[in-house]
Structure 1
């Protein structure tokens, strides 16, 4: 039911993104922390629904996406006009990362407006 799904969203926000950590001493600092955690969850939802569409992680929980895509040992080299990531040879998500970076960074053609 809808209430159960809402509870799951709250569980993901608290557990996977640590939104229940409001240990600052001032109200404004805790409010900012909660706002940043909510923004991180919105970014995760957009990543799942837009960039990870039709992939194995399209329905994954935030903890799974974080573990598979962001917690990877990689060597970063900065070239003149680009950044090169050297993944380990045993990386199981190479193709998924390539698909994701292509969807996020390749420019899309601008839509033409009809001038009538």
Structure 2
């Protein structure tokens, strides 16, 4: 098994990734959340259109409605947990990337020293 395959297998076996994927499945299957996401998208489009045609009252109205729906989504305990897990995963993947880059750079440096370059 290659180092790449080992790394992929290690990442796929992480408990945090499994929890994240479970939350993702639950969220994707939640009809109320889907409805709120759709509502937020529609409000966002209306807000962009109002800004394009420069309608200050409509902008304020759509912005307030958008903020309200967004707040209801962001404060949902399931979404909060999902976003926390997403942040933890992103941090972990950044660390893995930095470790790989460091190892590659060291290998290149060592190779340059050995070859006399």
Q: TM-score, normalised by structure 1?
A: 0.26
Structure 1 or 2: more strand by fraction:
1
Structure 1 or 2: more helix by fraction:
2
Which structure has the larger Rg over C-alpha atoms? Answer: 2
Q: TM-score, normalised by structure 2?
A: 0.25
Looking at both structures, which has the greater relative contact order when contacts are Cα pairs under 8 Å and sequence separation is at least 6? 2
